[in-house]
Amino acid sequence: MENKIKTRIEELRAVIEEKAKQYYVYDAPSISDYEYDALMNELKKLEAEHPEFADENSPTQRIGGTILDGFTPVTHDVRMESLQDAFSEEEIMDFDTRVRSALEGQSVQYVVEHKIDGLSVSLEYANGRFVRGSTRGDGDVGEDVTANLKTVRSIPLILNHAPEFLEVRGEVYIAREDFEQINAVRESMEQSLFANPRNMAAGSLRQLDSKVAAERRLNIFVFNIQQMTGTMPVTHSEGLALLRSMGFRTVADTGVFDSIEDAFAEVLRIGEERGNLPYEIDGAVIKVNDLAEREKLGSTSKYPRWAVAYKFPPEQKESVIRDIYVQVGRTGTLTPNALIEPVRLAGSTVSRATLHNIDNIREKDIRIGDHVIVQKAGDIIPEIVRAVIEKRNGTEREFFMPETCPECGAKVVRLEGEAATKCTGANCPAQIMRHLIHFCSRDAMDIEGMGPALTEKLLHEGLVKRVSDLYRLQKDEVAALEKMGEKSAENLLAEIESSKQNPLERLITGLGIPFVGVRAAKLLCAAFPNLDSIMQATEEELCAVNEIGEKMAESIRSFFSLEQNRSLIEELRELGLNFNSGKQEAAGTLFAGMTFVLTGTLPTYKRDEAAAIIESLGGKVSSSVSKKTAMVLAGEEAGSKLEKAQSLGIRIIDEAEFKEMIAQGKIL
């Protein structure tokens, strides 16, 4: 029996560690928060019952979180603790018993707050001015994300009536409407979707480019005073009032309660109403209101004894699949979707759910006419959990992928080893719309004004049938479109003309080669001098490029082997688009034997992209400056590395000089 328990404990530790890494380090969760918390709860219980199997490296012995490269570590003066989770009324009552026992039976008041589904951060103010913001990290050490937090408009940069020093804790999140809009755009571009608002908020704050964070429309609720000079408030509710008076948006508190029964009743009420909130919550928090009592209660090694978080399970409803239809994406992928009987779920009416691919349908044995259990993944994305097989009556029908594209009638194929079924039609209207949107997008050719609405108008009027037609548009025909006019037409055509001079990496991104995104396009341009050399490269030559694998190399070769794609590229060449990467043929050893150090924020490159270019040209990248450092590539807000380089007399260059060296193929 003991061996079975030990095996289960070790199994849980391994699973939790892997899921935690996916969630906290890579912002790519593979299970729901509720499932993760249930696993952790089981492990905590087994370890408590069997202390002989204790392990200091168990996931239960730390708060969690890992510092990523590219951010300056911040040691928290006041530990940013996690909360003890509860999943039942019994656990809430046990929490109250522990609190009253520790306080020797004196009366206790509780505050109940929404548990926002976001990312916890610390904000520091000196003389009322915002000076530093950091993530929670592992509770003791986080990451300096000041530049990104400054883009959050609800964070005050200057406070009203502030003390000499103040540190507060808050939760950065994204509103439900904004989250759904951003995911809708990503879905239309066939980009991976964020699983939940917390995932998006975390990913946004961890961008080295603060512009990305600014575009995500992040928001914040502040919920605690960590430390401050002067007299601290007596209660938590008074502290929230003080924070509001200084200009902070405070977490939605729902009052002060004299009994745990009343507090828990409020928690249940919040659970019933959570779908109507403009932001996502995954639970409600019960906190002791009196700060002196909190001090007396203290903390364990993992969480405070004066608070508990009640976690809500994902809401599930039963529905019926009316039909299954297929949607054609930008790259020609056919995605099956279920039309279901409308059902109210997590605050909105759900009438469809993605089925991903035919393998998922077969694995779950989902059929047209089935009663099914539906939930929202991360309380956002509608998904079918399972079919209610016991309710089948024999009228249900199996679904089969079509043999021809529902948009254009062309034959569809499923490549060996691939889950996706794809349309082979070069002029498929579904692909043309999405291809044009992608081609003009910010990450690709960045043609301002060419949004989905205008793209649809141009297609509807027959002015554009493929990407190259954009560069043949005439002022009078564009001006004649609804809501355009002469000035708007002039601006649009100027943007299109200007895009001809874009770096080659943008054109490669815009072509929509499967598996080739922004980073891969930059790596290709760092390795090859022009588009022709990329088109002619063998799979072996492509695989020799850092981070280009066999699957991507095969996709690139396949893309450029198709006549319709080569024809499009020739048209773009004749129209005057830039086909040169700026890399010289002999530049492969340009930085041979040289060690670079990167510091600060570069205008266009991310640090890892610049590092990949340096390495592809024979150089090395180090994290610290020494006498062996050849050059320091510095951007805005460069810190101690820049100062050390200056003191050692090491050459410092900016991105413009870096690009010029690459373009000329020599050290300037």
Q: What is the pLDDT of residues 128-180, one digit of tens each?
A: 999 999 999 889 999 999 888 988 888 888 888 899 999 999 999 998 888 87
Tens-place pLDDT, residues 528-572: 989 999 999 988 889 888 788 888 888 898 888 877 788 889 999
Q: If phi over 0 gives left and psi between -120 and 50 gives alpha, with beta otherwise, what is residue 161?
A: left
Phi, psi for 72 (deg, rounded to 5)? -80, 130
* CA 605 – CA 30 distance, rounded (Å): 30
Per-residue pLDDT for 511 more than 80? yes
Q: Which of 24-33, 38-47, 331-340 has the lowest mean pLDDT?
A: 24-33
Strand 85-86 vs strand 307-311: parallel, antiparallel, or unpaired?
A: parallel
Q: How confident is the model at residue 64 (pLDDT cuts 50, 70, 90)?
A: very low
Q: Which residues are catalytic?
A: 115
- According to the model, what pLDDT value does residue 602 have? 86
At 587 the pLDDT is 43
Range 331-350 average pLDDT: 83
Distance, in Å, from the CA atom of 75 to the CA atom of 142, rounded to the nearest integer, reads: 6
Q: What is the pLDDT of residue 150?
A: 87
Half-sphere exposure of 324 (CA within 13 A, CB side): 22
- 603-657 residue pLDDT tens: 888 777 788 788 778 788 887 888 889 999 998 888 888 888 888 999 999 988 8
pLDDT tens string 190-243: 666 776 788 888 888 887 777 777 788 899 999 999 999 999 999 999 999 999
Asked whether 444 and 438 are in contact (CB, 8 A), the reply is yes
Does residue 24 surpass a pLDDT of 50? no
Q: What stretches of 25-175 show up as alpha helix (H) in DSSP?
A: 33-49, 89-102, 146-149
pLDDT for the residue 42 = 87
Q: What is the pLDDT of residue 636?
A: 85
Report angle CA 406, 407, 412 to the nearest 5 degrees: 60
pLDDT per position as a tens digit, 450-479 = 988 898 889 888 899 888 999 999 999 999
Alpha helices (runs of H) in 575-630, residue ranges in sequence order: 607-616
Distances (CA, A) of 510 to 174, 387, 457, 569, 623: 28, 40, 20, 12, 33
With beta carbons less than 8 A apart as the criterion, state whether 147 and 196 touch: no
Average pLDDT, the chain: 86
Q: Which residue segments constitute the domains of the chain, with CATH numbers given?
A: 2-61 (1.10.287.610), 73-311 (3.30.470.30), 316-402 (2.40.50.140), 429-501 (1.10.150.20), 504-574 (1.10.150.20), 585-664 (3.40.50.10190)
pLDDT for residue 20? 65
pLDDT for 131: 93
